């Protein structure tokens, strides 16, 4: 299953027949045959489920509709288990950025977190998961695929990368994240819940 976000709408690609009991589902073959994907993506429906028995096929065909950008980033914890958030353009976010040519996902994730937060001491942990979101950029529809890794550091003297629109950094306990959920992107909330669930 793939969960892709566009603004406040989640688009779910699935081959799970149990999800067909949901009220808003569509057969991928019909959407593709009638060229209705743009119509679905432009509607603010909360959730859209696209079903086919061949999940790999849906994903490949869905991806052909977009310019693909790959990025990597991290959820950084300090020695007391707090998570580091960045305030980018007035919205709470997690550090990440585009993967450069000939750069691994892990290398890109570390580099971007170091650059955006001023880290000089940062340890790479495990792979957390992947998030997907679509947006329009200069009249081009983009699908951003972001790979996320856990990271740890006990560094105190951090500095936000102002030229990237980052104006503040904040460490927060896992049980005190309402300020983030109230002012962040749906895919970031989704990622945080995925991360917290990995410890349960």
- Tens-place pLDDT, residues 128-163: 999 999 999 888 999 999 999 999 999 999 999 999
**62 backbone dihedrals φ, ψ, rounded to 5°:** -60, -45
Q: What is the pLDDT of residue 187?
A: 94
Q: Are residues 12 and 80 in the same domain?
A: no
Mean pLDDT for 8-17 is 91
First and final C-alpha spacing in the chain: 21
**Residue 186 pLDDT:** 93
pLDDT at 67: 96
The per-residue pLDDT for 22 is 64
Q: Are 90 and 56 part of one and the same domain? A: no
The whole-number pLDDT of residue 200 equals 60
What is the per-residue pLDDT for 44?
Answer: 67
Q: Write down the pTM of the prediction.
A: 0.93
Phi and psi dihedrals of 116, rounded to 5? -75, -20
End position of a domain, from candidates 38, 63, 88: 63
Structural domain range at position 40: 2-63
Count the domains in the chain.
2
Last residue of a domain, one of 41, 63, 85: 63
Q: Which residues contact 141 (CB under 8 A, 6 or more apart)?
A: 41, 65, 66, 67, 134, 135
């Amino acid at each position: 299953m793939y969960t892709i976000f566009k603004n406040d709408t989640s688009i779910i690609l699935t081959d799970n027949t149990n999800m067909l009991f949901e009220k808003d589902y569509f057969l991928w073959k019909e959407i593709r045959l009638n060229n209705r994907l743009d119509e679905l993506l432009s509607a603010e429906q909360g959730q859209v489920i696209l079903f086919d028995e061949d999940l790999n096929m849906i994903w490949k065909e869905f991806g052909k509709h977009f310019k693909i950008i790959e990025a990597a980033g991290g959820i950084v914890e300090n020695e007391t288990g707090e998570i580091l958030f960045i305030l980018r353009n007035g919205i709470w976010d997690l550090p990440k950025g585009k993967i450069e040519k000939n750069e691994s996902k892990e290398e890109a994730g570390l580099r971007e977190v170091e650059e955006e937060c001023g880290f000089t001491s940062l340890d790479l942990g495990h792979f957390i998961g992947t998030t997907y979101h679509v947006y329009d950029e200069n009249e081009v529809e983009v699908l951003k695929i972001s790979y996320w890794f856990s990271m740890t550091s006990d560094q105190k003297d951090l500095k936000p990368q102002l030229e990237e629109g980052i104006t503040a950094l904040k460490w927060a306990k896992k049980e005190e994240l309402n300020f983030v959920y109230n002012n962040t992107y749906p895919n970031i909330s989704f990622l945080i819940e995925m991360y917290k669930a990995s410890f349960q």
